[in-house]
């Protein structure tokens, strides 16, 4: 038994979490069907936690008060081992604190807690960021779950759609070399429905930075489905690897990659939360399997 991996179970779902990155690494329905991408060669992760940035910074550098710190895409939390706080049959809690290694890249004091809970056919993930320092904490956070695409092997990928809870009429954003392009693009979403195809990701992720919805349904004409909802997140990324891969990422974000023309102080970067001293931010998302 691996002490760094723990499985939660309810009557309708099981979820496995590993201590490294506090990452969800398996999600099965009541029939035991695996719904989460199993970190194959096309992409070596399952559902990484993005903190303290979402996306990339220009030149992979965090600039602050005349100093430059290395900061790779999506931050460092996904590669750090969290501390287990609680492990119960349907609930677990993990935490990451600032330490010398994180301070060498992100000179702020913080506490990042991830809580996973299952009930019936739903997984709830709660992310809490505490500012433990003496100054405002600039940060972003995001979820990055990769679901199998297709969810049923007998269906084609283009039989699947995303159906949003509200009409998504705003333009979308795209990336160039990991940075946000200046000009928005017409949305491929028709009303509430986004038809999925591999060609949709030829230009990398679809980014909704003026998101109207608080939930989305990922489903084909039959077989398993995923309903995902969120609280506290403002943006949504939808991604699969350009050229084709057997996964679809549905990513609630609070923040986004640096605009290509932004070259300022990290604290001035668009999309950040600014958490006052002694305060916290709590964000939450839920995955219901059907």
Q: What is the pLDDT of residues 209-223, one digit of tens each?
A: 999 999 999 999 999
Domains of the chain in start order, with CATH, are 5-153+237-289 (2.70.98.10)
pLDDT for residue 3: 78
Mean pLDDT score, 160-185? 97
What pLDDT is stored for residue 76 in this prediction?
Answer: 98
pTM beyond 0.75: yes
**pLDDT for the residue 184:** 97
Q: For position 2, what pLDDT does the model report?
A: 78
Mean pLDDT of the 195-200 span: 97
Strands 226-231 and 280-289: antiparallel
> Does the pLDDT of residue 1 top 80, yes or no?
no
């Amino acid at each position: 038994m691996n002490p760094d991996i723990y499985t939660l179970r309810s009557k309708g779902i099981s979820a496995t979490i590993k201590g490294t990155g506090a990452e969800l690494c398996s999600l099965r329905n009541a029939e035991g069907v695996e719904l989460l991408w199993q970190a194959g060669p096309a992409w070596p992760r399952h559902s990484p936690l993005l903190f303290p940035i979402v996306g990339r910074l220009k030149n992979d550098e965090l600039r602050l008060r005349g100093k430059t710190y290395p900061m790779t895409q999506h931050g460092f939390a996904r590669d750090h081992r969290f501390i287990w706080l609680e492990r119960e049959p349907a609930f677990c809690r993990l935490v990451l604190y600032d330490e010398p290694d994180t301070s060498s890249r992100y000179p702020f004091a913080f506490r990042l807690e991830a809580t996973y809970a299952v009930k019936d056919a739903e997984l709830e993930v709660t992310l809490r960021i505490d500012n433990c320092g003496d100054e405002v904490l600039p940060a972003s956070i995001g979820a990055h779950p990769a679901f199998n695409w297709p969810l049923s092997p007998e269906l084609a990928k283009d039989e699947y759609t995303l159906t949003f809870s509200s009409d998504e009429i705003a333009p979308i954003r795209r990336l160039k070399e990991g940075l946000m392009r200046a000009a928005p693009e017409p949305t491929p979403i028709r009303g509430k429905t986004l038809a999925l195809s591999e060609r949709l990701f030829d230009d990398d992720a679809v980014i909704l930075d003026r998101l109207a919805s608080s939930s989305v349904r990922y489903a084909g004409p039959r077989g398993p489905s995923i309903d995902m909802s969120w609280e506290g997140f403002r943006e949504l990324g939808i991604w699969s690897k350009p050229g084709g891969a057997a996964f679809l990422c549905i990513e609630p974000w609070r923040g986004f990659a640096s605009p290509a023309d932004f070259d300022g102080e990290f604290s001035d970067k668009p999309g950040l939360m600014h958490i006052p001293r002694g305060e916290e931010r709590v964000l939450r998302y839920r995955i219901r399997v059907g």
